[in-house]
Structures are given as structure tokens and as C-alpha cells.
Amino acid sequence: MITGKTKTVGILGWPVGHSLSPFMHNAAFAALELDYTYVPLPVEPDHLGEAVAGLKAMGFVGANVTIPHKVTIMPYLDEIDPSAQLTGAVNTIVIRNGRCIGYNTDAQGFIQSLTAKNITLKGKTVVIMGAGGAARAVVSGLIQHGIDKIIIGTRNAVKAQEFVTLFPAGTNLQGCDWHDELFADAIAQCDILINCTPIGMSSSQQIELPINWQNVKTTAVVCDLIYNPPLTPFLAHAQSRGHIVINGAGMLVEQGALAFELWTGEVAPRSIMLDKLIKFI
């Protein structure tokens, strides 16, 4: 029951009607009998500053931040945690003593979705397709966990090169067009292959990712950040060839669980959050 004492968190985005986070977090609060509620907060880009001030004014304890506000919200916050500095984006806000602190739980959420499946990272070679916000979070997480080498392939080599410059010099990170030979060679060497593009989402066109499956090591772990559908054509193909496959549901739950822990100080009930999520996919 919501009372005058209930603590409020929400999700800032535009639009947010599609977000599964309210179901996932409200189920987690209920499971632990915490007096919190989580609400969708549709905010147009032009009103983002007012919305952040409003969260403080209305005594919110925090919020999640989603598209298109993850980067543009940063100047409105009082402090940026190192997790958000490295990824260049904020997906979680904690409001403490009237100050808004921006965090990013996507990078660690992705890593935990792998370690939960006993995938080790140290010394591995990773190939990533896509160079957007999600790829940046994934690379940030990987370079903090001892990955040996990362190759970014995109449909646009210039964007791949620009992406590489976002990370500290000395990081073993290369960008290329995914039709180049460098990409084909990388595919043949990689231990972990990750789709960070929207190709394969239910609503997207039927485009295929540029993988020559004959060349992929059978031991390679194949990941897709997409969680709807749970088995994209890319993952289905990998699974049919015997690869371990991991979809984006684990990352979504883990990033949410880490945000939940920042707001409440309690260990998040991950299995309940995943069950709730699966019901809506």
C-alpha cells in the first residue's frame, strides 16, 4: 500500500511506456516488503533539467535514466560516480541529502550476466558488433575485468574509429568496418562474440549480422544484448551450432539489481526480478 511514508523511485525516459523496469522493481520491493514504489516518468528532452529539479523537490530517493536522456542528463547532476564517467552515461541516479549522484550500472550489469553463467574474462579476445551506448558500457566493463583484446565492428568504419578514442590510450581496442578482413580475422580468433546492435529485435527489419559461422571457434560464447525476443536469429544460429548463448535479460536484471541495491542498501532478489521480466517478454 502506498502511504505518505512510501519512498519513490522512477524511470526518466521519452517515451517510457515500453519499459519493463516498473514491473521488475515493484516486484522486487514487494518481495522484500520494502516501502518503495517505482513509477514511469515520461520526460520530453526539453524538460529534463526541470524534471531533475522536480525529483529533488518531491523527495524521490532515486531514478533510472533511459533513452534519450542517459548522456544529456549529466550536466544536471551534482556528482558523477566513476562508473558513469567511464561509460560516459548515467542510467541510475541516487538522491541523497538533496544531491543527485549519477551512476552507471550497465557495465557491471553486463559483466555480472556473464559471471553468473561462469564465463571467465581474463585474457580473452572479444568481438563486438555495434558502437553505440550499450557497446560503450560493455567495453567499459570488459576493460575493467582483464580482457586481453577487443575488436569493434560496425557498418561504418569512421564510427568504429571514433568509438575507440573514447577509451584510455593503451587499451587493446581496435575498430573496423565489419566487412573488412580485420573483422573476419577477429571473428576467427574470438572467445566471446557480442551483438550490441538492435539487429534481431522483434520490430527491426530482417537484416543478418555479418558472421561467417564456419570460422567461429566452437568454444566461443555468443551474446546478444537484446532480450526481446529471448532468442534472436543470431543467438538461434549460434545455439544450433553448439555455442553457449546468453541474451540480454541477465544484463537487464543485473543492472536493475545494482540500481536497487544503491537505492535500498538491500540485496536485490534477482530471481524474482528475472521471473517478472520473463512474464512480460
* Distance of closest approach, residue 110 Cβ to ligand NAP, in angstroms: 8
Compare residues 7 and 184 and give the one whose CB is closer to ligand NAP.
184
Point out which residues pair with 126 in neighbouring strands.
150, 192
DSSP secondary structure of 108-128:
HHHHHHHHTTT---TT-EEEE
Contacts of 180 (CB under 8 A, 6+ apart): 153, 157
DSSP code string of 169-238: TT--EEEEETTSHHHHHHHHH-SEEEE-SSTT-TTS--------GGGS-TT-EEEES--SSSS-HHHHHH
CA–CA separation, 91 and 128 (whole Å): 21
What's the min distance (Å) between Cβ of 53 and ligand NAP? 26
| Residue 74 DSSP code | G
Interior/surface letters 236-245, b for 16+ CB within 10 angstroms, e for the rest: ebbeeeebeb
Query: What's the alpha-carbon Rg for the chain, to the nearest Å?
Result: 19
Q: Residue 195: phi, psi to the nearest 5?
A: -90, 115
Say which residue the cell 574474462 belongs to.
Answer: 121
Nearest CA-CA partner of 69 in 98, 95, 38, 46: 46
Cβ proximity to ligand NAP, 177 vs 191, nearer residue: 177
The residue among 23 and 217 lying less far from ligand NAP, judged by its C-beta, is 23
Find the catalytic residue in 70, 124, 149, 276: 70
Cell of 84: 558513469
Q: Which residue is nearest to ligand NAP (CB)?
A: 132
Q: Which is nearer to ligand NAP, 20 or 147 (CB)?
A: 20
Contact at 8 Å (CB) between 19 and 38?
no
In angstroms, give the least distance from the CB of 10 to ligand NAP. Answer: 18
CB of 208 to ligand NAP, least distance (A): 10
Least Å from the CB of residue 206 to ligand NAP: 11
Q: Contact residues for ligand NAP (CB under 6 A)?
A: 106, 130-135, 154-156, 159, 196-199, 201, 207, 225-227, 248, 251-252, 255
Q: Tell me, what amino acid is at 131?
A: A
CB of 99 to ligand NAP, least distance (A): 26
Let me know if 70 is a catalytic residue: yes
Question: Measuring CA to CA, which residue among 9, 15, 13 is closest to residue 37?
Answer: 9
Catalytic positions, written as ranges: 70
